[in-house]
Amino acid sequence: MSDWEPKIIAFFCNWCTYGAADLAGVSRLQYPPNIRVIRVPCSGRISTKFILSAFREGADGVWVSGCHPGDCHYIEGNYYARKKFLLFKNLMDHMGIEPGRLHFAWISSAESTKFQKIATEVCDSVKQAGPSIQFNKRAGLPAQAHLS
């Protein structure tokens, strides 16, 4: 278990958080290598279905991040995201998801240090939560069905 590394799916909006992740790179800010980013135009594009399917496929954690309220490239797409994820988080809590698996944050494209900080926190808290079994459709299947 000691060499277990979690896999975290991250959905980032193109204009803010994806830019912050790039800027963290340009600034060579180091953070744990557990995050796999899927780029979308706007956090408003992210549907709760993506989060559920990520857990179902085997993600140990999911991180959704977009522009700060008021900074949205598409005026107000991130307000929809915020509203939706507040509700969704409640639902996931109700369904008994372990704390520390699902994360939301708002990071602008200039905030590389904030990105580094939150990326590290997300990785740490998913590590704490351990491998995700509850929602994983392949949990318990023979090992070759997994990739790691």
Pick the binder of other proteins from 4, 27, 87, 90 (CB under 8 A): 27
Q: How far is CA 49 from CA 56, 88, 89, 92, 105, in A?
A: 10, 10, 13, 12, 18
Is residue 85 a contact point for other proteins (CB under 8 A)?
Answer: no
| CA gap 44, 76 in Å, rounded | 8
Binding mask 33-72 for other proteins (x = CB under 8 A): x--xxxxxxx-xxxxxxx--xx--xxx-------xx-xxx
Q: Which of residues 100-139 bind other proteins (CB under 8 A)?
A: 108-114, 116, 138
DSSP state of 125: H
Phi, psi of 127 (to 5 degrees): -60, -45
Which helix (H) or strand (E) segment is 63 a member of? strand 61-66
Residues contributing to the site for other proteins (CB under 8 A): 5, 7, 9, 14-16, 18-19, 21-33, 36-42, 44-50, 53-54, 57-59, 67-68, 70-77, 80, 84, 108-114, 116, 138, 145-147
